[in-house]
Structure 1
Amino acid sequence: MFVAIGNTPRPYAWGSATAIPELLGTPVTGEPQAELWLGAHPGSPSQVLDPAETGGAGDLAAWIASDPTRIVGRQGSLPYLLKILAAGAPLSLQAHPTLERAREGFARENAAGVALDDPTRNYKDALHKPELVVALSERYDALCGFRPLDEVREIVDLLVTIDNAQTAPRWELYGPMVHLLEDSVTLTETDAEILQSVVAWLLGGGEEVSALVGHLVRTAEKALHPAHAHLTDPYTASLETVVRLSEEYPGDPGIVISLLLNRVTLQRGEALYLPAGNIHAYLSGLGVELMAASDNVLRGGLTPKHIDVPELLEVLDFDPLPVPYLEPQQPSAGLQLFVPDVPDFVLARVEPGLGADAPTSVAYTPFGAAIGICVAGSLSIAGASGSHALVRGDAVFVTPDEGELTVSGTGTLFLAAPGAPAHLLP
């Protein structure tokens, strides 16, 4: 069964006013349009465009609840949430818990009587929230995961050099970040322990932290002068990010934390996968995002919202890691699959008719209920018992009994579905 769905974009302040309308051909409202949610999450379930098709149910969550096994299949609930995300300004630094930590935290806060709408609550449900994002704009800028300590040391040495303060005590300039400069520290502390101590100090706040934030911003502005171009490469983008974040979140310790993180620019079509514990922040760009259907967010800066420092420090993975690119699989012409290491979701990019040698139709069999959104062209999607026409901006829910789906026409369809069942995994 194919059911047309839609939703109203979330008007978060960091959203772009034009990027989603330009992508999907929808109206510009004058307000920011940050995220278009496609799924059954209670925070903003997708609307059913013709409730007569769903026995009167007006949204996807209500319809699924009426007969979950038939509508969703083996999971009994929709395990993912598909979004179109448009960042016109930087989002908060954040990370998400493992499944085990989410279960424990949710139970703990329930037992303590913390209301679900309490702004100090960390766990809104008992689920994890790994996520992936595929860039739709020409560039998509982000911070993700802790960078190697050697790179952080190079950045701090660069800042000291540009300060013309090589003889000044580094502690006075950069507080506990001095540990990042001292090779001897690694004899007794791991890289992760050093990073954890620095982040804990920064998020603890106080006069020293405030002074460091201000000093760092002034030095970054100085470093970006053309006279220092030979010194700042390859960290120019990181220093530009410091200055931009200071404009959006003046005085925030997250400005300093940004220098500890990988700074990445995705090109159109490239993807990141952010597992549990990976600290990240999207800075700008338009993308399609797919995640587990959870609302558990531990914030770490660049936000006026509550930051639970002890809980965040328990959730974060402080091990320096490479940029977590997710390379797509290409099982057939016109089909790319973004497959993370969790069973909650897989994202397919289906593109029939694009290019001289492109197939006129592409077949794909999702493992369960699917949600598709057409972001370009005009397409038809057909299954075992029905079909549905899509043009740019249209979205559809597909029940699992449709089996193999054939997408034909000319355009681009992103299709979210559950991952493969455990018995089919390698």
Structure 2
Amino acid sequence: MFVGITNTPRDYAWGSAGEISTLLGTPPTGKPEAELWLGAHPGSPSVILDPSGTAGASDLHEWIQRDSEQVLGAGVDRLPFLLKVLAAGAPLSLQAHPTPEQAAAGFARENAAGVPLTASNRNYKDASAKPELILAVSDTFEALCGFRAMAQTRASIEQLAELDAASSTPTPALFAEWLAFARADSDLRAMFEWLISAAQPVPELVERVTALAEADSASEEFALVRTLAGYYAGDPGVLISLMLNHVTLAKGEALFLPAGNIHAYLRGLGIELMASSDNVMRGGLTPKHVDVPELLSVLDFSASPVPYLSAEPLNESTRAFRPPVRDFQLVEVHEAANVELRSAAIVLCTVGEFTVQNGERSATLSRGESIFVTSDEGALSIRGAGQLFVAATQ
């Protein structure tokens, strides 16, 4: 079956001023447009356009709950992925996501403790991991992702200490402990834990580094410090950002963020595809709940390069992003393609018009339209021109 679906962008405070509606050609909401969810996650399940074709079910979550075998196939009771259009108008929180084992244990633990699913201090909203990919749709997409080598962080800290020493009011003692962590050369965890604790002298250090970055406003070296401090004055995440890879994706480039990877999207419009979960451990740059012990238990403190995800060309106008997880893959189509499916799928058109067909069944999608494809279809013949995305499992 091909079933038309839609949704309304979530209005998180960091969302853009109309970028999602502009991309999709839909009426602006008049609120921040942060994430459009296409999937069956109960937090914001896709709305079914014609419930008469789904026995009256009004959204994907309800339809799957009623008849998972018809929708997803025998032995499958949940849609394992969630497709999003994400528009960051301001920096998101520093965050990381758990492994499948950590998610299952954490969800069970908080349920046993009686923590309501809607509680502000709830860490685990479900029992699933949340690996994710982000594909830049805007000309640039800026993000923090993973710890960089200590030598790079040390160079930034030493440069700040030099700026402080050259100022009219130097405070060398304020930098001493931070420099000691940096010169130990190996323990990223120790430095991170010290910063996120926000114990003295960290608050004073955040204030001083912010002042130094603002005084050195002609330099690009600490532009991110100035930006983050403008949104989250006094937050230790301002300093933690200096420990992380800072990347600006060009349109069409992608990242894959596995469990344990600390990251934050800073600005831009992208297509995000992830395992269907809403489990987020925050680590700063947010007014929301930050559970430091739980965050420390899920973080991977290994230094790593920027986690780019390369595309696999399927033909001259089609490519697939296949991360090292089975939960999802993203196929991007610009003209004609035949896409084999091993699961149910979600198809979204962002530019132009396409006809999606399997045998006698077909659906025409214009900009901003999307369909859900049940698992029994097996393959899609796609014809048209523009930009279209197919999300499915691998």
Task: State the TM-score, normalized to the length of structure 1.
Answer: 0.89
Q: Distance in 2 between matches of 1:170 and 1:132?
A: 42
Moved more, 104-113 or 142-151: 104-113
The answer to whether the 8 A contact 1:132-1:271 is kept is yes
Map of 2:311 onto structure 1: 328
Alignment of 1:262 onto 2:255: no
Q: Distance in 2 between matches of 1:370 and 1:344?
A: 12
- Aligned residue among 346, 349, 372 for 1:374: 349
Q: Distance in 2 between matches of 1:316 and 1:120?
A: 19
Q: Distance in 1 between matches of 2:382 and 2:171?
A: 61
- Count how many residue pairs are aligned between Structure 1 and Structure 2: 392
SS in 1 for 2:27: coil
The CA deviation string for residues 50-69 of structure 1, in whole angstroms up to 9 with x for no partner, is: 11111111111111122112
SS in 2 for 1:301: coil
Gaps of 5+ in 2: none
Map of 1:73 onto structure 2: 73
Map of 1:337 onto structure 2: 320
Alignment of 1:195 onto 2:163: no
The answer to whether the 8 A contact 1:159-1:223 is kept is no
Moved more, 157-166 or 212-221: 157-166
The answer to whether the 8 A contact 1:217-1:242 is kept is yes
Alignment of 1:365 onto 2:358: no
SS in 2 for 1:381: strand
Q: What fraction of aligned residue pairs are identical, expressed as a percent?
A: 52
The answer to whether the 8 A contact 1:175-1:208 is kept is no
Map of 1:43 onto structure 2: 43
Q: Distance in 2 between matches of 1:330 and 1:380?
A: 21
Root mean square deviation, CA, Å: 1.6
Alignment of 1:218 onto 2:211: yes
Alignment of 1:136 onto 2:133: no
The CA deviation string for residues 402-426 of structure 1, in whole angstroms up to 9 with x for no partner, is: 121011011111111012xxxxxxx
The answer to whether the 8 A contact 1:170-1:178 is kept is no
Deviation at 1:35, TM superposition (A): 0.5
SS in 1 for 2:376: helix
The answer to whether the 8 A contact 1:149-1:180 is kept is no
* CA distance 1:254–1:290, shift in 2 (3 Å): same
Map of 1:15 onto structure 2: 15
Pairs within 5 Å for 1:127-276 = 127-165=128-166, 172-182=173-183, 185-186=184-185, 191=186, 194-225=187-218, 229=219, 236=220, 239-276=222-259
Map of 1:414 onto structure 2: 389
SS in 1 for 2:283: strand
The answer to whether the 8 A contact 1:152-1:180 is kept is no
Q: Distance in 2 between matches of 1:384 and 1:76?
A: 26
Alignment of 1:293 onto 2:268: no
The CA deviation string for residues 152-184 of structure 1, in whole angstroms up to 9 with x for no partner, is: 111112112222359x998623253213442xx
Deviation at 1:76, TM superposition (A): 2.5
Deviation at 1:73, TM superposition (A): 2.1
Pairs within 5 Å for 1:105-144 = 105-144=106-145
Deviation at 1:218, TM superposition (A): 1.1
Map of 2:369 onto structure 1: 394
The answer to whether the 8 A contact 1:162-1:222 is kept is no
The CA deviation string for residues 22-79 of structure 1, in whole angstroms up to 9 with x for no partner, is: 1000112321111000000000000001111111111111111221122112533100
- Aligned residue among 341, 350, 353 for 2:333: 350
Task: State the TM-score, normalized to the length of structure 2.
Answer: 0.96
Q: Distance in 2 between matches of 1:48 and 1:30?
A: 23
The CA deviation string for residues 83-110 of structure 1, in whole angstroms up to 9 with x for no partner, is: 0000000000000000111111112222
- Aligned residue among 279, 294, 312 for 2:262: 279
Q: Which residue type is aligned with residue 332 of structure 1? A: N
Gaps of 5+ in 1: 230-235, 353-360, 420-426
Q: Which residue type is aligned with residue 175 of structure 2? A: Y
Q: Distance in 2 between matches of 1:28 and 1:397?
A: 24
Moved more, 317-326 or 156-165: 156-165
Q: Distance in 1 between matches of 2:30 and 2:63?
A: 32
SS in 2 for 1:62: helix
Map of 2:4 onto structure 1: 4
* CA distance 1:175–1:373, shift in 2 (3 Å): farther
The answer to whether the 8 A contact 1:384-1:402 is kept is no
Moved more, 194-203 or 371-380: 194-203
The CA deviation string for residues 314-347 of structure 1, in whole angstroms up to 9 with x for no partner, is: 1111111000000011122221111111111001
Map of 1:232 onto structure 2: none
* CA distance 1:171–1:79, shift in 2 (3 Å): farther
Deviation at 1:21, TM superposition (A): 1.3
